[in-house]
Amino acid sequence: MQKEIINSTNLLDKDGNLCVKGYAKKNIIKYNKENLKTSKLLLKEWDYYYIGNDNYGLALTIADNGYMGLLSISFLDFKNKKEITKSDMILFPLGKTRHPTSSSFGDLSMQTKNGYAMFKNDGKSRTIFGNFNNFDEDKKIEFNIELSEEPSESITMVTPFTKEKRFYYNQKINCLKAQGFFAIGNKKYLFDKKDSLAVLDWGRGVWTYKNTWYWGSLSCYINNKTFGFNIGYGFGDTSSATENVIFYDGKAHKINDIDFGIPNKDKEDKFLEQWKITSSDKRLELTFKPLFVRHAFTNAFVICSLQNQVFGYFSGKAILDDKTEIEFENKLGFAEKVFNKW
């Protein structure tokens, strides 16, 4: 069952329970966090941007997870199959980051010991700028990127958990056009709208403590039109809707359940072997050839996070709502498996 939300609504009622559950293709669900009835320690809010082309990518996160805040920056070098990630944590931000209550407008920034990032959004375009010291040995990274021409449709999910007053509210916006640069020391990397696209992962919610999620994303050009998908599963009650969707030329085409088909031998995931990703309705059938894994492990007191974000090439076919079939080969994106206790 795929329950589409088509009318504007609040997310939470006066008792802190969800007013709706399901998915929407437009940003029509108001995140009225003043109605939350849980501790600030349990609230998780983040903005994650990935900007990339066929040669390199940049990922940036500003997160406020109650008892832990995070500024994280990753450089992905696809030609040399390597990555650099640097992060700073802050303790007990408890909402002081003031994450916007809408993905459509509002600014967000974070200053840490080593870095600074600002995500500006005036409702028309987004500007991402900042820096991080000692990013690559003693070299600083600096970045200034504009994202524009937001597609008319995206995917917004309202996912409940079985535990009362626990929920995940998330929007993924694929195929934002990117223009700008980042520099590591004296080496400069350019983004151009002709070949560089971005995805925003905008998350808000009160989760249960222990979770595993799977997420995959692609934003690219096919026949001079934007194409991509958002796929994922693994946590929460998704009986009302999945987050799986195909994007083409600004429109969203909803699909059903997905399976990542991660190779596994002797109870161990083999992330660098070829994956076979399929949807239950056969509208998205993919092979995924990994390039490298961005692996991160954090184990600090009550917080534990094991991340395996795999970058590589998607090939396969997608079937749109009108039965149009799109075939593609070696389009660069990512898929991940993440385990968290937080």
Is 328 domain-assigned? yes
Is 4 domain-assigned? no
The confidence score (pLDDT) of residue 164 equals: 86
d(C-alpha 195, C-alpha 85), whole Å = 23
311-316 own/partner pairs: CB under 8 Å, 24+ apart: 311/57, 311/76, 311/78, 311/83, 312/288, 313/288, 313/289, 314/218, 314/286, 314/287, 314/288, 315/286, 315/287, 315/289, 316/277, 316/284, 316/285, 316/286, 316/287
pLDDT digits (tens, 9 = 90+) for 197-210: 999 999 999 988 88
Is 3 domain-assigned? no
**Amino acid identity of 219?**
S
pLDDT digits (tens, 9 = 90+) for 1-22: 789 999 999 999 999 999 999 9
pLDDT digits (tens, 9 = 90+) for 68-100: 899 999 999 999 999 999 999 999 999 899 999
**What Rg value do the Cα atoms of the chain yield, rounded?**
19
**Percent of the chain surpassing pLDDT 70:** 99
Is 176 domain-assigned? yes
266 Cβ neighbours under 8 A, 6+ residues apart: none
The confidence score (pLDDT) of residue 306 equals: 87
Is 30 domain-assigned? yes
DSSP string, 281-292: TSSEEEEEEEEE
Is 217 domain-assigned? yes
pLDDT digits (tens, 9 = 90+) for 157-195: 999 998 889 999 999 999 999 999 999 999 999 999 999
Is 321 domain-assigned? yes
For CA atoms 98, 101, 103, 104, give the dihedral sign.
Answer: negative
The confidence score (pLDDT) of residue 209 equals: 83
Is 129 domain-assigned? yes
The confidence score (pLDDT) of residue 299 equals: 73
Query: What average pLDDT score do residues 105-125 get?
Result: 97
Give CA separation, 300 vs 7, 40, 136, 306, in Å: 42, 20, 24, 12
Q: Count up the domains in the chain and report the number.
A: 1
Is pLDDT above 70 for 300?
no
Tokens 């997310």, located at residue: 11
Cβ neighbours around 111 below 10 Å, total: 13
- Shortest CA distance to 314 belongs to which of 243, 239, 230? 230
| Domain span holding position 200 | 9-341
Query: What average pLDDT score do residues 37-64 get?
Result: 95
The confidence score (pLDDT) of residue 181 equals: 98
Tokens 């709208």, located at residue: 193
